[in-house]
Amino acid sequence: MRVWFLSAALALMCMAQTATAGTILIVGDSISAAFGLDTRLGWVSLLEQRLREQGYDDKVVNASISGDTSAGGLARLPALLAEHKPDVVIVELGGNDGLRGQLPAQLKQNLAGMIDASQQAGAKVLLLGMQLPPNYGERYTRAFAAVYAELGQEKKVALVPFFLEGAGGRPELMQADGIHPAVGAQGLLLDNVWPALKPLL
């Protein structure tokens, strides 16, 4: 009889863990798609490992596409929300908008649309901010970076002000193109994300 009760208790614990497990949807570009790297070494894979190590059962869906823009993410998001029903949406987009010189106002509008759609679907949002190299001009780079800070305040969402903090501008942590983080930077990227993500789990 004792064995039966122990088995039943264990089954209930497993059911409870499964019930509380959520889904984290990452909608990003080449940085989250681990461009130029073995995807098993990218920060998203490292996130999955950390979740397991710290006892979280959350599933991670990486819907990142190299070259994607905020407009592309906005267009793709409704189908992703319907399919995966995420509890948390991590938005890592905008770098390609900046590299193409697109207007910060349009970037803000697209990201705001993604935040609104995610929240309306019942998901919490974590916005990963990007910054551009100074050669794009002070006025443009300041306006670009301000988009993320403004959205964090206006939409009341979790924010990492600069996703590449500590890696950007350091050649030893970047790939030869100077744009994409190298293997050695992936743990740093995760450490930038984790403090903002953990309270949302």
Catalytic residue among 30, 64, 70, 118: 30
- Helix pair angle (104-120, 138-154), 10° resolution: 20
Catalytic residue among 70, 97, 118, 180: 180
- CA dist 132 and 130 (Å) reads 7
**To which H or E segment does residue 26 belong?**
strand 23-28
Catalytic residue among 64, 66, 177, 191: 177
Catalytic, 116? Answer: no
Q: How far is CA 187 from CA 115, 119, 173, in A?
A: 26, 28, 11
Catalytic, 84? Answer: no
- CA dist 37 and 42 (Å) reads 7
With a CB cutoff of 8 Å and minimum separation 6, the contacts of 88 are: 22, 23, 24, 25, 58, 123, 124, 125, 126, 197, 200, 201
- CA dist 23 and 62 (Å) reads 11
**To which H or E segment does residue 178 belong?**
none
Task: Just list the catalytic residues.
Answer: 30, 177, 180
